[in-house]
A and B are shown apart, each in its own frame.
Chain A
């Protein structure tokens, strides 16, 4: 089914946050900290205030009234302390974007800088064990005797992988348009969840939620970075109040690198052992990562090891250090993405060391139940994905010897990795109403490019037994029935459940149906619910230049029932494309001297361009899982990025014989190995 908003998107009519018309609108631009740690000692805004068009200057000289218990990243201008370079310390509101930006530059901020610490190190003395890792997992688990498992193994690997800071970089920079009407606030925000955003904005400003409305009908990507409220939205609200006019805040691409979250860098040690037949005797996965001094955010990178393979001994651990950096946050498949990169790379090393085909090694270690928790899987078709992928990819023709295939100046290799992502859902509300010959579904869901509007249309139409053309889905507005945000690949499972129930009630009622799935979801459980997949990559590496190209990526996924093949394929392929970026080019470089990052734009932080991805294909197998939700569907937004980087890294090894254990795999690192 074509995207229902497709026509609006190709004609430019789809409006994103700051594209809504607003009378007499003003513009606010933030002033950002130029130190990584210390205090603001003085803010001289006299020059800025006197510049043409300036309406207001906001800063800690006149702290706004914000809730004491609000997210410290959102408590703008409340204190003088600086926690990271790029933190907002002031802002200017002016009549035009040009005037606001020029005046923001004219604000002079004086600091008392303190020595900062911005670099994650494996031996950092302040590493500690967090109580929980995102979103609520225990930091450590232990089952069996890892030391004995390793000691008794016929083959072992003990390797450390590193992943850099990665930035989500949605194409639409975070932006908000705020307007007050008396004590009521409307924010057109670029957010992955209008209801959650509304709640956070209201709580931060000390307003009842009923006084705030968030509208976000179209969102130009988020990949996790718009899952939580960001400072631009609070700034827009404060600036609009100060100026007495609607205010737009559109962050620059450079500012996105500072205040919209990022994927923590990781240092991951993997110890694996197997017997001579390839059966695992132990898995140990230890992760070191960072958070800010403001907020503890611990990415769950070792959590997928609790799900993947059968082993008598399994230990997973997370250690965190609080640095003078911005708070890391969600980026597509937090936990699984970096964690499976390391685990699946180590599995490839183990396969090579044991002389076992890497597909077969994974098949050999297929568990009967979830290894860490012991729950039965609601469905698990990793082996089917590996077999189907191997068949489609032509894996049986593969010679395992590394570094021996040449085509012209290129060394050619192939690699495989497994993929997984949890399949969960959250309570949601929805209504369905018969109106003027149409069926209107209302839900505060978000379509950030996933196709949610289209998929919910299809789900409603199927439940009602009517053509999709007779269904209209309204979403992206916090005034609609409350719904969870688009995140954790839970969106469609959560919203779809509520839409099915609302439509079922409409069928009974004849006119209207409402649904709240809280009780239904609480009643579930008893199963480990995960999607699985297998990723295959072909790479070419020029040993003279270190250039790496990926002529083929192929993924096969098991995700329950696929609601819409076109939308699903786009999600998988999009995730795999982002995974290619992670493998070969994406890296935010921490500025050790000044804090923040040295690269902070799209010329220096490379995301894949069209020329990088000649052939990315995604397939899925039929999977019937009755334990999930009324649709029988698992979320698909994130699994596509999980395992891609490992498959590419494993293929680079197969092509060249080199293991680069430090992403991204750049010419610099390859040339150091040749």
Chain B
């Protein structure tokens, strides 16, 4: 690890005031310390924001406001989350391990970086680490990488489970920074790679996530399904966050669908949602909706399995949510 300085902030405003170029904010550290040890992240100074008083989960009318420093385990066990947002609870509980969830913060979880093997190995080129150096994953090992929205520069996936649920729930990310405070809608925080794969999100230098606001939960039933080779403690091959509301006439009155493990960002399946709204809830409509979304997929030779996997998982999850 390259030597760095360390300072701890007492308040969000103070953290932003302290921030200078070359600094990074430290939350739970579960990904940042990992990347620093690999030489992928080399901050000149860490500004520790893990103890900021942003650790509350509070009802906001029928919605919820989650502080950025709330630990994943506290979020996944919170009665309001369990009662109102089972999709979010299941997403959080399916991520990492009990130890990691005790450490990882909501803000840090959103900002974790890809687990692409080339990104994590500084002895190999990677456009995400060094723009213009190349993407060896495209001709090489991309078995776990993106099938949607990738670019010739980068096929990385975003690894978060929580972010997939937040994208499905229309969460809004509260950010404060040198230029003031703003809200960034989910999805929308995370970018597609284009020709700037080094930029994961739309955040500007020095901007700090302070909270995530959840609007009232969508009506109907909701869940999160995650497929992986190992039964636990593994990143998703593909995951689905889904909410389904079927009207009295048997047609889809409301639906939310987002995919994980398939793109550089949590992938809100808007085409599938559009295809489903008003359609009779059933196998045929579910399959058609999944096809509509995955028509856009551009699989590579070693990750082509993700297309049928995502399609089947969407259908299976919607079937499970159908009353």
Contact = CB atoms under 8 A, between A and B. Distances in A.
Chains A and B form a bound pair: yes
B316 interface: yes
A577 B121 CA distance: 30
Interface in B218-253: 227-235, 237
A430 B228 CA distance: 50
Contact of B305 (A101, A594, A600, A672): A672
Interface string B108-130: 00000001011001011000000
Given A409-B316, A592-B140, A549 B123 contact: no
Given A102-B3, A544-B313, A546-B305, A611 B117 contact: no
B312 A603 contact: no
A609 B233 contact: yes
Contacts of A669: 305
Contacts of A110: none
Contact of A598 (B141, B234, B312): B141
Contact of A102 (B2, B229, B234, B313): B2
Nearest to A35: B123
A606 B230 contact: yes
A593 B136 contact: yes
Contacts of B118: 598
Given A105-B39, A409-B316, A598-B117, A609 B232 contact: yes
Given A102-B2, A545-B313, A604-B117, A584 B232 contact: no
A301 to B, nearest CB: 24
Nearest to B2: A102
Given A592-B140, A594-B124, A612-B231, A544 B117 contact: no
Contacts of A171: none
A667 B316 contact: no
Interface in A652-674: 664, 666-669, 671-672, 674
Contacts of B205: none
Interface in A582-641: 584-585, 589, 591-594, 598-600, 603-604, 606, 608-612
Contacts of A606: 229-230, 234
Interface in A536-553: 544-547, 549
B240 to A, nearest CB: 10
Question: How many of chain A's residues touch chain B, expressed as a range?
Answer: 35 or more
A102 B36 CA distance: 11
A544 B313 CA distance: 7
Given A589-B141, A668-B143, A603 B235 contact: yes
Interface string A45-58: 00000001000000
Interface in B294-314: 302-303, 305, 308-309, 312-313
B1 A102 contact: yes
B140 A598 contact: yes
B237 A667 contact: yes
Nearest to A52: B3
A34 interface: yes
A584 B230 CA distance: 8
A98 interface: yes
B152 interface: no
A593 B139 contact: yes
B141 A591 contact: yes
Nearest to A601: B120
Nearest to B97: A609
Contacts of A409: 316
Contacts of B228: 547
B232 A611 contact: yes
Given A598-B118, A604-B115, A612 B230 contact: yes
User: Which of B2, B141, B234 neighbours the largest number of chain A CB atoms within 10 Å of its CB?
Assistant: B141
Contacts of B316: 409, 544-545
A547 B227 contact: yes
| B-side interface mostly | loop
Contact of A666 (B3, B124, B229, B233): B229
B269 interface: no
A545 B141 contact: no
| A-side interface mostly | loop
A18 to B, nearest CB: 18
A527 B141 CA distance: 48
Given A102-B1, A604-B115, A545 B230 contact: no
Contacts of B121: 598, 600
A56 B213 CA distance: 54
A600 B117 CA distance: 9
B231 A611 contact: yes
A667 B124 contact: no
A546 B309 contact: yes
A592 B143 CA distance: 14
Interface string B160-182: 00000000000000000000000
Contacts of A664: 229
A660 to B, nearest CB: 13
B305 to A, nearest CB: 4
B277 interface: no
Given A102-B1, A668-B143, A34 B123 contact: yes
B281 interface: no
B79 to A, nearest CB: 25
A175 B227 CA distance: 36
B315 interface: yes
A34 B122 CA distance: 10
Contacts of B124: 594
Contacts of A610: 232
A216 B281 CA distance: 65
Contacts of B308: 671, 674
A549 B313 contact: no
A593 B227 CA distance: 29
B27 to A, nearest CB: 19
Contacts of A609: 230-234
A57 B76 CA distance: 49
Contacts of A598: 117-118, 121, 140-141
Contacts of B312: 544-545, 671
Contact of A585 (B123, B139, B230, B313): B230
A98 B1 contact: yes
A224 to B, nearest CB: 23
A603 B227 contact: no
Nearest to A665: B229
Nearest to B310: A545
Interface string B3-34: 10000000000000000000000000000000
A546 B312 CA distance: 10
Interface in B187-232: 227-232
User: Which of B123, B231, B303 neighbours the largest number of chain A CB atoms within 10 Å of its CB?
Assistant: B231
Contacts of A52: 3
Given A593-B139, A599-B117, A584 B1 contact: no
A608 to B, nearest CB: 7
Contacts of B303: 668
Contacts of A604: 115, 117
Nearest to B39: A105
22 contacts: A52-B3, A544-B315, A545-B313, A546-B309, A547-B229, A589-B143, A593-B139, A593-B140, A598-B117, A606-B229, A608-B230, A609-B234, A611-B231, A612-B230, A666-B229, A667-B227, A667-B237, A667-B305, A667-B309, A668-B143, A668-B305, A671-B309
Interface of A: 32, 34, 52, 98, 101-102, 105, 409, 544-547, 549, 584-585, 589, 591-594, 598-600, 603-604, 606, 608-612, 664, 666-669, 671-672, 674
Interface of B: 1-3, 39, 115, 117-118, 121, 123-124, 136, 139-141, 143, 227-235, 237, 302-303, 305, 308-309, 312-313, 315-316
Q: Which 6 A/B pairs are nearest by Cβ-Cβ distance? A: A611-B232, A544-B312, A668-B305, A611-B231, A598-B141, A598-B117
Given A32-B123, A105-B2, A672-B305, 20 more contacts: A101-B1, A544-B313, A545-B316, A546-B305, A584-B229, A585-B230, A591-B140, A591-B141, A593-B136, A593-B139, A603-B235, A606-B229, A609-B233, A610-B232, A611-B230, A612-B232, A666-B229, A667-B309, A668-B237, A671-B312
